[in-house]
Structure 1
Amino acid sequence: MTSLAGPSRLGVTAVLAIGITTNGIALGRRKLDTLVQNGLTHLNISLDTLDPFKFEFMTRRRGHEAVMDCIERALALGVSSVKINVVVIKGLNDTKDVVDFVRFTEDKPITIRFIEYMPFDGNKWQVQKLVPYRDLVKTIQNEFPTFERVAKRDDPNDTSKHWRVPGHQGTVGFITSMTDNFCGTCNRLRVTADGNLKVCLFGNAEVSLRDAMRTGFGPIPSLTTGSNGEPATDEQLLELIGAAVGRKHAKHAGMRDPSELAKSLNRPMITIGG
């Protein structure tokens, strides 16, 4: 984000929620305070362990204290939604770390989201490292026997299955892309930092909205007209987006199993965004 005042400019329109996804290391109190003052409502923190020593091992950098301070500050500022995204990898953070995160919800109105390990370019994905969410539920219930599903919270287009420990202020979610996908109800569209539209997180097909807005686009069979070299109008952009959505595959960008996803040429997650 080039300007910390950006959210306030968005907030004067019909935008109902403004969120960011960050590792929290460089966010800091001053930046976070300014963002909240200018309309930030949702904060997602990527954090795979609460152990400061394991944090340094996994990230190859210091900064655990800064991340925890960012979380506490967001709660103190009353940010509407504070979530911690935890990618779970077998043998690394799939036991004690999982229990620690659930315990973290006891006195904090926060959502912990455990994410099944997904294949992306450069992350050396292996199926042996995948921990199915049902195994995570069993691990948690061994420590918290009353851990239960909160089905009524699940929105038809939600990507997360909601659980909780009764009496805890916070909740737990599971993003089960690999073992129990939600592709049939997914309504997510992503616009990358370089202006490309992605209709599926796992797909490598992208449509350049940036180029269409700058120099237009030529004839496309699925569209009624091209823009004839002129910057696309709002109506043409909507048609371009609609055509891209219409080409979306039913599941996982049309690939049949995780091994195909692991071999596909896609952006690293860091260049896609949350």
Structure 2
Amino acid sequence: MTKDNGILQDAFNRKHTYLRISLTERCNLRCSYCMPENGIQLSPKSHLMTYEEIFNIAKIFVKHGVSKIRLTGGEPLIRKDIPVILEKLSSLPVELSITSNAIIIDKFINTLKANGIKSLNISLDSLNPEKFKQITRRDQFEKVYHNILLLIKEGFKVKINVVLIKGFNDNEIVDFINLTKELPITVRFIEFMPFDGNKWDIAKMISFKTIIECANNMFTESQIQRIQDAPNDTSKNFKVKGFKGSFAIITSVTNPFCDSCNRLRLTANGQLKNCLFSASESDLLTPLRQGKPIESIIEKAVTAKFKMRGGMDTLEKLQNPELHNNNRSMISIGG
């Protein structure tokens, strides 16, 4: 173990090379699994990281071994200084990518290209305009779908993130897979996960087994090909033979990928979360503003990372509201 990546290696020998940075707690959608019905208490603007602070913290992580940075929100593109943030971060020796809802992404095509963005994750939970409006509380399906097609046309690698919820969009699994027939995209089905205020219930969750059974009922097993997963991949990847795209399943609940986790998260107000499910956070912004070094805080946070799901290592613990309700809402963690 070298000194340069020592502070990002945890007690289970996992090296953390992937940093997800939330740029804002605000969003132009109101997805029910992400944002509580009554919204959230937003951090005061003075408590949020400036673009200089984002860059300075990112530089420290890159110095110690981070090779990939993903920008999230809320919706990262609604931040007014996003062009400056992209320009600053693209100067670092990292793979830079974004997660977006794609509503306004058409305005940033040239900016994304100029800063080396090649891959984007786009949230889309229904191919039905009315259901899209129901889950997002906004009537923007046509805009989002048009912009997905635009991104593909402009040569970006597009992944579509679909949070499956029983009784809402689980009857669209085959429709989403069929979307990959003519489009060179990856559709990623994500198990519904518990966060503060999203009314999670394990009975609403669609498991890996159910998704595969649904696919097998539509396509023969010989048509569905298992694709080699990338190192540290969160998803199990598949492809229908002859289709241009592929589909994947992210099993955070039923079959977590914690053993190979290499991810850390930085919230918009400068708190380091060592796990999506962890209720604990480490303040990096305050000491940074005080001119103090933050490496020791990062090292302590990484070392304290649990082996699995923030300590919720069984489904019984995951179903205990007292454990996951102490966490933030997804909107304020960063998607």
Q: TM-score range, shorter-chain basis?
A: 0.7 to 0.9
User: 1:189 is paired with a residue of what secondary structure?
Assistant: strand
SS in 1 for 2:82: coil
Q: Does 1:82 align with 2:158?
A: yes
RMSD between superposed Cα atoms in Å: 1.6
TM-score calculated relative to the size of structure 1 = 0.86
Q: What is the deviation of 1:266?
A: 0.9
Q: 1:266 aligns with which of 309, 317, 327?
A: 327
Higher relative contact order (CA 8 A, sep 6+): 2
Residue deviations 1:130-166, cap 9 Å, x none? 111111011012112212321x2x1331111111101
What are the Cα deviations for residues 34-69 of structure 1, in whole angstroms up to 9, with x where unaligned?
Answer: 323332222111110111122122222111011011
Number of aligned pairs? 250
Quote the residue 2:107 is aligned against. 30
Structure ID, larger Rg = 1
Query: Which residue of structure 2 aligns with residue 232 of structure 1?
Result: 292
SS in 2 for 1:158: coil
Q: CA deviation at 1:124?
A: 0.1
Aligned position for 2:122: 45
Q: Distance in 1 between matches of 2:324 and 2:112?
A: 39
3-state DSSP class of the match of 1:54?
A: helix
SS at match of 1:194: coil
SS of match in other structure, 1:197? strand
Tell me the secondary structure at the aligned position of residue 4 of structure 1.
helix
Displacement after TM superposition at 1:3 (Å): 2.9
Question: 2 CA distance for matches of 1:183 and 1:171?
Answer: 23
What SS does the corresponding residue of 2:175 show, helix, strand or coil?
A: helix
In structure 1, distance between residues paired with 2:108 and 2:324: 39
Deviations 1:187-233 (A, max 9, x none): 11001111110001001111111112112xxxxxxxxxxxxxxx223
Shift of the 263–244 alpha-carbon distance from structure 1 to 2, 3 Å rule, reads closer
* Counterpart residue number, 1:18: 96
Amino acid at match of 1:259: Q
Pair 5,186 (structure 1): closer, same or farther in 2 beyond 3 Å: same
Corresponding position of 1:91: 167
**Sequence identity, in percent?**
42
Structure 2, unmatched stretches of 5+, are 1-78
Report if the CA contact (8 A) 1:5-1:38 is conserved: no
Aligned to 1:179: 254
The answer (yes or no) to whether the contact 2:277–2:324 under 8 Å persists in 1 is no
Aligned partner of 2:159: which letter?
K
SS of residue matched to 1:69: helix
Q: What residue ranges of structure 1 are gaps of 5+ in the alignment?
A: 216-230
C-alpha distance in structure 2 between counterparts of 1:28 and 1:158, whole Å: 26
Once residues 182 and 84 of structure 2 are traced to their aligned partners in structure 1, the CA distance between those partners, rounded to angstroms, is 32
Residue of structure 1 in register with 2:30 after alignment: none
Question: CA offsets, 1:86-131, max 9 Å, x none?
Answer: 0001111112x11111011111111111000100111100111011
What is the distance in 1 between the residues matched to 2:111 and 2:127? 26
| Cα distance between partner residues in 1 of 2:89 and 2:303 | 28
CA contact (8 A) 1:127 1:258 kept: no
Q: Is the 8 A contact 1:28 1:66 kept in 2?
A: no
